[in-house]
């Protein structure tokens, strides 16, 4: 099989598995509430998944370096699908915590193994573009799922969860049959923290900031818009504009990153995001939020694939799994702290700090890029 066909096999399996994710993502909180869980417990159950995703990232990166990415990806898809299937079978609330923990481990295996595989198979001059295809596969699969999931849920509550499990198993079969086996590393790969080098600081920053932005804005932006008196219908339009911006801009920005330099495009994204976040609170008109939200979605959505594409050039191939898991750890950490830190700032300093904090973070990342590039030029 050619490398291009192998990559499209991976993209297809990712889209299929995340279509399954989209089927059940809006329904888990509903199922929990039907079993008597209050909003606090629902939030804790959701946090459990992200916590175990973050905790599992490094060990899974180590395993990926030892045995190769394909078996880890296949196993992750099976574990994830099995966990989702169990949602339709269990009743006690404490079991939902256990199942979401298992789901987090499976999701981490899917993420780390897929990103490692694409990084290992990609030439540096095409790595950002190929990572953007991966991110687009995730987004499209996830976006198409909710309509089907809610429809199946109305027919029978267990159908979306069974469907997600079936799609995950189908993706596992696709990967095991057609995806190539990347070379496993040597058996003396050293400490996992040894991949945290100066070259890894930039992708780690991009991953953590993206996680912070994604989780805090998804959680708190609707609350901000409600405070501004935006009707729910227009609120949906604004949130959709952010998603549209992400989908439309990812591939062009990734192509630019491969052509002009990943750090230069990341610098441009960081500077523009800092300006846009400072501008966001200046108006309360819905069309204003749609315009800036589209730009923010496009620029912020590119932080993940471009940052991830830098990982492949920052470490030797035998440590790619560990380096990718470090990126996932940074993303997971940002996702975990984003809502709480932004919520605390909004409560004590004002709602506009939902945007001021991201402005400071993206400006800091831009400054980091300038400092690193200046030092590199001095060394040369």
**Residue 227: per-residue pLDDT:** 85
Q: Which residues of the chain have pLDDT under 70?
A: 1-2, 21-22, 25-26, 29, 39-40, 43, 142-143, 145-147, 182-196, 373-380
pLDDT tens digits, 10-35:
888 888 877 776 677 667 767 777 77
**Residue 274: per-residue pLDDT:** 96
The answer to whether 302 touches 269, Cβ cutoff 8 Å, is yes
**Residue 312: per-residue pLDDT:** 74
Distance of CA 202 to the CA centre of its chain: 17
The answer for residues whose C-beta is within 8 angstroms of residue 265's C-beta and 6 or more apart is 128, 253, 256, 257, 302, 306
Dig out the tokens for 149 from the structure. 């999931």
- Hey, which CATH number is domain 3-184, 1.10.220.150, 1.10.287.40, 3.30.200.20, 1.20.1250.20? 1.20.1250.20
Give the 3-state secondary structure of residue 106: helix
Dig out the tokens for 124 from the structure. 């540096």
| CA-CA-CA-CA torsion sign (269, 324, 22, 138) | positive
CATH class of 193-379: mainly alpha
The answer to whether 307 touches 266, Cβ cutoff 8 Å, is yes
Give the 3-state secondary structure of residue 308: helix
In the chain, where are the structural domains located?
3-184, 193-379
- Helices 232-260 and 198-227: crossing angle in degrees, nearest 10, is 160
Topology match between the domains 3-184 and 193-379: yes
**Residue 150: per-residue pLDDT:** 74
The span from the CA of 333 to the CA of 336, in Å, is: 5
The answer to whether 258 touches 128, Cβ cutoff 8 Å, is yes
């Amino acid at each position: 099989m050619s490398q291009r066909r192998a990559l499209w096999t991976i993209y297809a399996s990712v889209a299929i598995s995340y279509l399954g994710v989209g089927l059940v993502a809006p329904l888990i909180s509903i199922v929990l509430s039907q079993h008597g869980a209050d909003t606090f417990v629902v939030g804790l159950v959701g946090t459990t998944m992200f916590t175990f995703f973050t905790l599992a990232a490094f060990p899974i990166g180590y395993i990926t370096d030892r045995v190769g990415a394909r078996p880890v990806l296949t196993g992750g898809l099976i574990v994830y699908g099995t966990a989702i299937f169990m949602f339709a079978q269990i009743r006690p609330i404490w079991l939902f915590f256990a199942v979401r923990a298992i789901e987090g481990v499976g999701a981490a295996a899917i993420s780390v193994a897929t990103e490692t595989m694409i990084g290992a198979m990609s030439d540096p001059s095409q790595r950002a573009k190929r990572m953007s295809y991966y991110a687009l596969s995730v987004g499209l699969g996830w976006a198409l799922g909710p309509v089907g999931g809610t429809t199946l849920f109305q027919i029978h509550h267990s159908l979306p969860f069974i469907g997600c499990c079936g799609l995950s198993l189908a993706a596992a079969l696709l990967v095991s049959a057609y995806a190539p086996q990347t070379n496993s590393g040597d058996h003396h790969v050293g400490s996992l923290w040894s991949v945290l080098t100066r070259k890894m600081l930039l992708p780690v920053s991009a991953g953590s900031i993206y996680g912070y932005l994604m989780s805090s804005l998804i959680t708190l932006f609707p609350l901000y818009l409600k405070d501004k008196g935006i009707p729910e219908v227009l609120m949906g339009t604004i949130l959709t504009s952010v998603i549209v911006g992400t989908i439309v801009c990812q591939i062009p920005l990734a192509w630019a990153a491969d052509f002009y330099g990943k750090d230069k495009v990341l610098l441009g994204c960081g500077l523009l995001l800092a300006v846009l976040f400072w501008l966001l609170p200046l108006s309360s008109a819905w069309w204003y939020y749609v315009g800036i939200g589209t730009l923010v979605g496009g620029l912020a959505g590119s932080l993940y694939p471009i940052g991830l594409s830098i990982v492949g050039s920052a470490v030797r191939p035998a440590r790619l799994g560990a380096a990718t898991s470090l990126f996932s750890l940074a993303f997971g950490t940002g996702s975990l702290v984003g809502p709480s830190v932004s919520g605390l700032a909004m409560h004590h300093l004002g709602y506009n700090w939902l945007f001021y904090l991201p402005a400071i973070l993206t400006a800091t990342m831009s400054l980091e890029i300038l400092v690193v590039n200046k030092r590199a030029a001095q060394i040369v």
